[in-house]
Amino acid sequence: MCGRYVRFSTKTELEHHFETIFRIEEEPGPSYNTAPGTLNPVVLTGRAQTRGITLMKWGLIPPFADSPNIGYKMMNARSETLHEKPSFRPAFERKRCLVPANGFYEWQQSGSAKVPHFISLKEEPLFAFAGLFERWLSPENASVFTYTIITTQANPLIAPLHERMPVILRPEQYDTWLDQTQRNLGALQEMLQPYPAEAMQFWEVPEDVNKASVNHPDLMKPGSGSLQAPTLF
């Protein structure tokens, strides 16, 4: 799964990497402990098939939901069942997005405790999770835009930490994923594979990351006696 992630790239870096511009004036500050329920940059395309970056709340609220509280239960969507679930299928068909990130956290069960780890790509400091978004109308008729991060089976590196991991897309896949005219769900499903283990790394980090209210760069740094990722290749 993916319950916390990191995004510290600047507005300029995001615009350069995703070859687009922000649709909002304010620059979102860095977040070293991004949690569900927060507003974060998301990349999507409009009707003219042009990319743009905007802010959405993490935790997808389906259009038919009675309450926005369901969003906290829908921070992730399993890649294997996107085409089956009423909450995700419409978005999978025509509301796909990219979620910029610089890394993410995962917790490994160790006895009665859960040990946090920071995971990132070795050669790519900025990347994108595959995501879906939706528009929900509140009782006051206000539009609320939310997103979810798609997960898949963990690769051999991440599997000792958790059986699931977020889907990370390569830059050459961005256009296909964002293309609103692309309705070949089988082809899209094929894109949702585990990222190569040899291109990733992780290490143990301080338990402060367990608190969503704690948000600073030191959360990503190896803790005392930190466990490094094993060498698999």
- How big is the CA angle at 111 (ends 105 and 212), to the nearest 5 degrees? 30
Record the tokens describing residue 104, joined without a space: 């993410």
CA distances 196 to 20, 106, 149, 176, 232, Å, are 27, 17, 18, 20, 11
Residue 106 among the catalytic residues: yes
Q: Torsion over CA of 208, 159, 196 and 89, rounded to 10 degrees?
A: -90
Task: Catalytic residue, from 15, 26, 106, 204: name it.
Answer: 106
Active site annotation includes 97: no
Start-to-end CA distance of the chain, whole Å, equals: 24
Q: Which residues are catalytic?
A: 2, 106
